[in-house]
Structure 1
Amino acid sequence: MSENTEQRSWLPYAIVIGVIVVVLLAVLMWPASEPEPQPVVEPETPAVAQPEPIEPEPADTFEATPPPEPVEIDPDQDVEPMPEPAPEPEPLDVSDTAIKAALETIATSPTLSRLLVNDGLLQRFVVTATNLADDETAPNHRLLTPPDQDFRVYTQADREWIDSASYKRYTPYVDVLESMSNEDLIALYETYQDEIQTKYAEIGDPDQPFTEVLIEAIDTLLDTPEVKMPVEVYTDSVMYKYADERLEGLSDPQKQLLRTGPDNMRRIKAKLRELKDSLMAQ
């Protein structure tokens, strides 16, 4: 199978990318609880009765008030300078460089810098998560670079099985996922909330909170069944497919989550459950 065919038909790294996006944005887009501002009621000013005008009596004499004495300033006296006005807040930097730096800061794994793409990060976040919620994948909007190693199968008794080495290709991606704490992601959400919601409004329902989309994506992945090793596949000369019809009938994101391997999938699901629990407790 050619490299291009394998990339088109068997994209197991895409689901790892999508999971990382869902985890990031599920926290980033969870609405912060803030009290609604109360309307300000202007107090009514009571009407005051105006006194009758009084005609002044003519004065016999008029004494002018003398001007104030000039005040001498001691040049050696310390004079406190006037405080400078507070500087205006700088506009939010939503460039790819700033966003990548923010993600690298909260990820304890140094691998993230190598795995992240360098352009359109916020847009890719939104598109990938939205596609996952719709049981689809978005390989053209991937956020991370694909693994360097090739997908591998082996033949036994005239049948093809997924090689366990194929699963290990995705362990660094899962390590990055686990290196990000929910608390840090919430702080990141507070920074980029408006920008991410604006981008979602361009491709989805502008009245729908993006949180709902993310929760649907998480639930879709959590519903992926776990299977025993080894997993049998076959090729129809175009792409690999699962020999088990039950697995082949799953959605594309679920099938690709299976392709990360049983150990990686358990770790991914554990992170998703932890995240969802913390979100629901907000």
Structure 2
Amino acid sequence: MKPMGRVLSAGAIVAAAAAAALLWRSHEEAAPPEPAQPASEAASEPPSVAASAASSAAAAASLPDVGQGAEVPAAATPLAAADIGTALTDLIGRKAVLTFLQVDDFARRLVATVDNLGRTHAPSRLWPVNPTPGRFMVEAHEGDTAIAADNSLRYTPFVLLVETVDVARAVDLYVRLYPELQKSYEALGYPHGYFNDRLLQVIDQFLATPDAQQPIRVQLTEVKGPIPAEQPWTRYEFADPELEALSAGQKLLLRTGEVNARRLKAKLAEFRKELLRRMSPR
């Protein structure tokens, strides 16, 4: 068993599920803006993004530290790559696997996606999930463009699935899968690193994602080059530079909508708590 308890890799099932809800075609293929709705006359002034970020970061920092060097028993029956599809089916059901997941080369896809979620870009070709139906939707709001309220509905089916995942069973599954995950992580370019470490970093990033003023304003990404962007295949970015500076995973989390983001963060916090419980001395 390598340093930093292998049980941390179990976080990948919830991280994958959360990532799937986030990545499930959340890249910005947009429908035309809808007419603006009258603004509330008594709208309260929300806290600044910077203040929310500081508050969220403080909350994440207050979580118990897993630390490095913790040891847990190795899985009695490590999971081979060929058996991953069957194991996922046992966990969430055949229909859910076929609907939501890309099972081929799953360990590599999962490791690469978790790693990329903590960076500035998470390429969709590596995602362990299928595309989300529909397009990213925007609407006019007070003279600007904002993420449409109904856009969050696209992610609701997967968020509901995430909430049904048995965290204890997920931990058991990914203890078995960890040898494949670590192998993929080393092949990704980290021969001396541990996927467990990276996984925990990304989970804590998710938990530290700030709340943002609703609705979230967006703007067309500037296209640099001789070929202009063509409608409706337009790409959007956050108008607020502080939000745009967040990691790819945090921005995707915000795009799922306020309620979905809160539910996904709650599931990740539950999962992290289970990891700590499983790693504590008996």
TM-score, with structure 2 as normaliser: 0.64
Deviates more, 1:152-161 or 1:165-174: 152-161
- Alignment size in residue pairs: 206
User: Which amino acid in the other structure matches residue 16 of structure 1?
Assistant: A
1:187 aligns with 2:183: no
- 1:34 aligned partner: 73
Q: Is the 8 A contact 1:16 1:260 kept in 2?
A: no
SS at match of 2:265: helix
What is the DSSP-based 3-state SS (H/G/I as helix, E as strand, rest coil) of the residue aligned with 1:146?
A: coil
- Give the gaps of 5 or more residues in structure 2: 1-16, 24-68, 224-234
CA spacing shift, 1:19–1:273, aligned 2, 3 Å: farther
1:204-219 alignment, distance < 5 Å = 204-219=189-204
Map 1:152-163 onto structure 2 (within 5 A). 152-163=137-148
Identify the structure with bigger relative contact order (alpha carbons < 8 Å, sequence gap 6+).
Answer: 2
Structure 2: distance between partners of 1:15 and 1:135: 18
Cα deviation for residue 18 of structure 1 reads 7.8
Task: Name the counterpart of 2:185.
Answer: 200
Distance 1:264 1:128 in 2: 20
CA contact (8 A) 2:18 2:159 kept: no
Equivalent residues in 2 for 1:48-59, closer than 5 Å:
none
**CA separation in 1, counterparts of 2:143 and 2:73?**
62
* 2:81 counterpart of 1:94: yes
Alpha-carbon distance in structure 1 between the residues aligned to 2:142 and 2:73: 63
C-alpha displacement of 1:266: 0.3
Query: CA shift at 1:186, angstroms?
Result: 2.1
Q: Does 1:252 align with 2:237?
A: no
Q: Secondary structure at the match of 1:220?
A: helix
For the residue of structure 2 that corresponds to 1:160, the secondary structure is strand
Q: Shift of residue 32 of structure 1?
A: 6.0
Partners of 2:106 and 2:221 in 1: CA distance = 35
Corresponding letter in the other structure for 1:191? R
State the alpha-carbon separation in 2 of the partners of residues 113 and 160 from structure 1: 35
Q: Assess, with a 3 A threshold, how the Cα gap between structure 1 residues 114 and 266 changes in structure 2: closer, same or farther.
A: same
The one-character-per-residue Cα deviations of 1:189-226 (angstroms, maximum 9, x if unpaired) are: 23222222122111233332221110011111111111
What amino acid sits opposite 2:73 in the alignment?
E
Report matched runs for 1:145-184 at 5 Å: 145-184=130-169
The structure with the greater share of residues assigned to helix is: 2
> So what's the TM-score if we normalise by structure 1?
0.64
Q: 1:101 and 1:258, CA in 2 relative to 1: closer, same or farther beyond 3 A?
A: same
Q: Cα RMSD between the aligned structures?
A: 3.1
Aligned residue in 2 for 1:123: 108
Bigger radius of gyration: 1
Residue in 1 aligned with 2:212? 227
